Structures are given as C-alpha cells and as structure tokens.
Amino acid sequence: MRIPLSSPDISQSDIDAVVAVLRTPHLSLGPKLVEFEQAFAGYVGTPHAIALSSGTAGLELGLEALGIGDGDEVIVPSFAFIAVANAVLHRRAIPVFADIDAETLNLTPETIKEALTPRTRAIIVVHTFGYPADLAPILDIAHRYNLRVIEDACEAVGAEYLERKVGAYGDIGVFSFYPNKPITTGEGGMVVVHDPTIARTIRALRNQGRMQHDGWLEHILCGYNFRLPEVSCALGLSQLRRIAEMLSRREQVARLYYEALEAYPLIQRPPIVCPSGRICWFAFVVRLPAPFTHAHRERVIQLLTERGIGCRAYFPPIHLQPLYRPWSRALPVTESIASRTLALPFYNQLQKSHIQEVCSVLGEAVQKIAAEWGPSHLSAAVVD
C-alpha cells in the first residue's frame, strides 16, 4: 500500500539497543529482560511485570494462574481480537459473549450482568482500540460475585482510567507489543500483577514450569516456552523510553483525522476524549452510515485499496465465526456496529497530507455508494 494501514516507529536508538545485545553472550533470560520488566512495572504502577512471547500468551497464562479450567465460564466481548476467546477455550473453559456499548465499544456493567450465571468465574475486559473501559462498576460486580478480572490492555498501553494506567486495576493486566501497537518488540507481550504468588506462577509457566530457584532441569509445573528474547526486551526498553512522545504523536494524528472527517457527516468518528481518563490511540476506527451493510463496506475497502490506501474491517464478531457458533447468542449492538467499522491508516509517521487524502477518498467512496440508493435513501443515511 502507498499509505499502509500501520507501520512501526523504529529509531536509530532502537537499532543500537538491539545490536548491543547481539554483542553480548546473553540472548535469552538475561539482564535486559529484568530491566524491561522492572521499567514496565514502574510505568504501569504494579509491583510485578512478566515479559512474554505475545499478548495472547499473557491471556492464556493469566487464566491458568487464576485457576480457570474445565467448564468454568468466562465473560468476554465478541467485538475483539479472537485471542480473548481462544485463550478461554485453551483452558477448556466456556466463553460467554457479552454485548458492548455503542459509543465506547467496550463491555458495560449491564451487559456483563446479563451474561452472569452460577458458573461464571472470570471477566476479560478489553480496552477496545485503546479506549479505557469503565472499570469501577465492573470491578464492583466482580467483587460482589467473587469473580476474577483480566484486563486485556493489548491495545491500550499508556491509556488511563481515573488517573491510573489501565492494566493495573484487575487481577491481571495483559499488554501486546506486536508491530502495529504504540510500542513494539516485534512479537511480544507483558503481564502485570499485584499478587506475588500469581507473578511467580506466570514466570514459571512461561519457562517450561521452572520456578525461579529450581535447577536448570527441574520443573514444578507443566509449563510452556513463552519466553521473550533479550533482543526483543532491548527493543521494548528503548521504545518505552520514548512512549510519552509516541503517545502524544498518535493523539495528534487522531485529532487531525477527527478534524478532516468533519467535512463528511455520513462517517461517524470515534470519541476523541474519554471523560474518565486518557485514550491510547492504537487505531483510528470509523463507522459507516447505518444503512451500510457488510457488502457496502467491502466496496469501500476495494475503492480505498485501488487508490493504494490500507484499511481493514475491525472486528468481525467472534460469536459468528464457525468455531464459536456453539456459544453464539444474540448481540445486537455488536452485530450492527461490527458490520460497519473500518480501520484507517494509523501510525506515528503519518503526515497531514496523507490523512487529508485518506479522508477525501473515503468520503468520496461513501458518498458514491450512498448516492446509488437515490435521494430518499441518501437523506435517510445517518450515523448511530
């Protein structure tokens, strides 16, 4: 794509940090791992952080460390990356899909209550597209029903809720450092926790079940190889030093989009501010007008792609995918919104001229398709 959907922000200092590790004998479980974990724990505000091979690994180990297993029910959003549900299935537990708020695209206390049963053991709260979920009432529900809370902050590093970083509120917070995230380690993730016992368990599980003081071939638990290499930790540490600058730049890009799209009233913009905290701008996801269907959105994507502009339909509902049909239930808000959401190019280096071009092409495409319905349908084309 001439204007790609995403692009990592790699500086010369990042490259130097990686090369420096390659000049040492420490390529795994070395000093950069410890340094990265300590720095990230300090940034989020938790006593423990455990670096892992991916955010998905964090979800899986988090559920295991919390004792979620056979037949337990875990409430998850369907409007999310599929890892939230896959992690539940890997524990032989049952994903119970809950609907979302039409504005924030997050789970709400009301939708969580609707999904509760006597078998519910945990809630995975996703901070969708970096917009912080309303955690206080959700944590109140968890306390009332003795439920565990995992914050999926994979899209929300640096986001804040009531003046604290997201990820620090639940039993476990999970972050991702995939290349399209605000900071990256290539592949990689991080789990943050308050409970030292949970932290020790996750550290052991990521390294074939070996506890910190075990011998090299002694294994207390049945673990995995979910380690994060030293070069990735060095890159993450270097990126973390620039996180304030990068988050600020992403906020600037989001505001440029917001202003440029004001000229196209058929396109609904995401909320630009969060009254209870700070958004981490992982992506800029708009909504097409309510009369648009999945087929209409595919035409919009095709028109943008033909002009060299990257875009993507974010997210197809998990509960409608073949694997999850056995646990499907009616989620009207999720199904309505998911058929019309569209992620636009979004990354630190994106220039104002690119943003204006993207918005112009998108606006023309939406207007062209809406005009085909005729004047009466066009006047009825409204955003939610």
pLDDT digits (tens, 9 = 90+) for 331-345: 999 999 999 999 999
Q: What does the pLDDT read at residue 383? A: 45
Q: What does the pLDDT read at residue 384? A: 47
Separation between Cα atoms, residue 287 and residue 259, nearest integer Å = 16
The alpha carbon of 139 is separated from its chain's Cα centroid by a whole number of angstroms, namely 19
297 pLDDT exceeds 80? yes
Separation between Cα atoms, residue 19 and residue 234, nearest integer Å = 9
Full set of structural domains in the chain with CATH: 12-241 (3.40.640.10), 243-380 (3.90.1150.10)
> Within the chain, what is the greatest distance between any pair of CA atoms?
75
Q: Classify strands 277-278 and 160-161 as parallel, antiparallel or unpaired.
A: antiparallel
Which helix or strand (DSSP H or E) is residue 124 part of? strand 120-126
- The count of residues in the chain is 384
Q: What does the pLDDT read at residue 216? A: 79
| Two tokens, residue 29 | 């479980």
| Two tokens, residue 70 | 């056979």
| Two tokens, residue 275 | 């009254």
* 276: number of Cβ within 10 Å: 13
Q: Classify strands 148-152 and 172-176 as parallel, antiparallel or unpaired.
A: parallel
Separation between Cα atoms, residue 204 and residue 97, nearest integer Å = 30
What residues contact residue 289 under an 8 Å CB cut-off, 6+ apart?
Answer: 266, 267, 268, 340, 366, 370, 381, 382, 383
Q: Is 368 a catalytic residue?
A: no
Which helix or strand (DSSP H or E) is residue 252 part of? helix 243-260
Residues 370 and 377: beta-carbon distance below 8 Å:
yes
Residues 41 and 52: beta-carbon distance below 8 Å:
no
HEC secondary structure over 57-99:
HHHHHHHHHCCCCCCCEEEEECCCCCHHHHHHHHCCCEEEEEC
| Two tokens, residue 64 | 């295991």
Separation between Cα atoms, residue 177 and residue 157, nearest integer Å = 9
* 24: number of Cβ within 10 Å: 12
In the block, which residue shows the tokens 């087929």? 295
Q: What does the pLDDT read at residue 219? A: 87
| Two tokens, residue 376 | 């009466």
Q: Dihedrals φ, ψ of 174, to 5°?
A: -125, 130
Q: What is the mean pLDDT of residues 262-279?
A: 97
| Two tokens, residue 368 | 């062209």
Q: What is the mean pLDDT of residues 229-245?
A: 98
Separation between Cα atoms, residue 210 and residue 204, nearest integer Å = 5
Interval 27-71: pLDDT, tens: 999 999 999 999 999 999 999 999 999 999 999 999 999 999 999
381 pLDDT exceeds 80? no
Which helix or strand (DSSP H or E) is residue 367 part of? helix 352-371
Q: What is the mean pLDDT of residues 279-293?
A: 95
| The one catalytic residue among 165, 181, 352, 368 | 181
